Amino acid sequence: MSDGTMLLLIIFFAVFIGAFIQGATGLGLGLVITAILPFFLTVKETTLLVISLLIISGLTVTCKYYKHLVWKEILSFLVVVLVGRFVAFFILSAYGDMDFLKIWLGVVLLLIVIYQLLSAKKMDTIVELSPRRKNVSQIGLGFTAGLIGGVFGLGGPFIVLYFLLFYPQKKFSYIVSVQAVTTVASLFSISIHAVNGDFYPSFFTYFLIGLVAVILGTNLGLRLFEKVNATIVKRITIVLITVSAITIILFA
């Protein structure tokens, strides 16, 4: 088996596993993929692939729940996210092929794992935002989501937190707002990277492989949603991501 074929298989199974876990537990697709692929691709290659796949999954959910989307309520947050994405564009374009960025990726993965563990204990205490807290959260979480999402493809947790605060009692508004912002931000990132010529020759092959894996993995995960112990799967995944992050930091 050639190295090229082996890499395609690795990409397929990395995306498939990520999509399956997201379908079965709700844990972010990008988080799982980004913990695996940097061992075989550069940060830039991994991020562009993750962002492209997030457009597909985001469009699917946005179209399904579009009637619950109120653009005027998310527009100001979206603008801040896009500012973060624009800054991230320069960072990824300049340093995305350098190994030191993998060390930062490992650090970000660890921080997000810690965030996931801490936030899980606080979901029951979420209350609606006051106007002042809304403005502070909008700028802080929005820019962080844009920056981390644009450099590493890992902005989802910050977008999720903002809309959990903004829509504590509106499940469908929360879901569609998260996906709409993710989709628009991802389209923005992909567009400016395309104009800048950042796409590598093999990208479209990787994308098609990933697209098939997303469809198959998500559907299988959703079918097994009620049969698997989501808590155990999520804990195992968190442990594996932690090990992966530490390995990336030590051996990047």
Domain ranges of the chain: 3-251
Q: Which tokens in the block code for residue 52?
A: 């492209």
Cβ–Cβ under 8 Å, residues 34 and 53: no
Q: 51-88, pLDDT tens digit by residue?
A: 999 998 888 888 888 898 999 989 999 999 999 999 99
Q: 195-210, pLDDT tens digit by residue?
A: 999 888 889 999 999 9
What's the whole-number average pLDDT of the chain?
85
Amino acid at 28: G
Per-residue pLDDT averaged across 28-46, rounded?
88
Q: 100-150, pLDDT tens digit by residue?
A: 888 989 999 888 888 777 766 555 555 555 667 777 888 999 999 999 999
Q: Supply the pLDDT for residue 123.
A: 52
Q: Supply the pLDDT for residue 171.
A: 78
Cβ–Cβ under 8 Å, residues 163 and 57: no
Query: Alpha-carbon distance 99 to 45, whole Å?
Result: 12
| Burial readout 26-46 (b: 16 or more C-beta within 10 A, e: otherwise) | ebbbbbbbbbbbbeebbbbbb
Q: Supply the pLDDT for residue 62.
A: 86
Per-residue pLDDT averaged across 186-199, rounded?
94
Per-residue pLDDT averaged across 29-44, rounded?
88
Per-residue pLDDT averaged across 209-234, rounded?
80
pTM reported for the whole predicted model = 0.85
At 188, give phi and psi (nearest 5°). -60, -50
Positive or negative, the CA dihedral 93, 103, 58, 10 is: positive
Q: What share of the chain is helix, strand, coil (3-state, %, to 5)?
A: 85, 0, 15
Within 10 angstroms of residue 201's Cβ, the number of other Cβ atoms is 6
Q: How confident is the model at residue 222 (pLDDT cuts 50, 70, 90)?
A: confident
For the chain, helix (H) and strand (E) counts, in that order, are 10, 0
Which one is predicted more confidently, 250 or 252?
250
Query: Alpha-carbon distance 19 to 73, whole Å?
Result: 29
Half-sphere exposure in the Cβ direction for 168 (13 Å, CA):
11
Of the chain, the percentage scoring pLDDT greater than 70 comes to 90
Per-residue pLDDT averaged across 4-17, rounded?
92
Q: 144-183, pLDDT tens digit by residue?
A: 999 999 999 888 888 888 888 888 778 788 888 988 999 9
Positive or negative, the CA dihedral 159, 165, 167, 169 is: positive
Strand positions, DSSP E, the chain? none
Q: How confident is the model at residue 225 (pLDDT cuts 50, 70, 90)?
A: low
Give me the long-range contacts of 138-143 (CB less than 8 A, separation at least 24): 138/76, 138/77, 138/80, 138/162, 139/80, 142/77, 142/78, 142/79, 142/80, 142/81, 142/83, 142/84, 143/80, 143/81, 143/83, 143/84
Q: Supply the pLDDT for residue 120.
A: 60
Q: Supply the pLDDT for residue 77.
A: 95
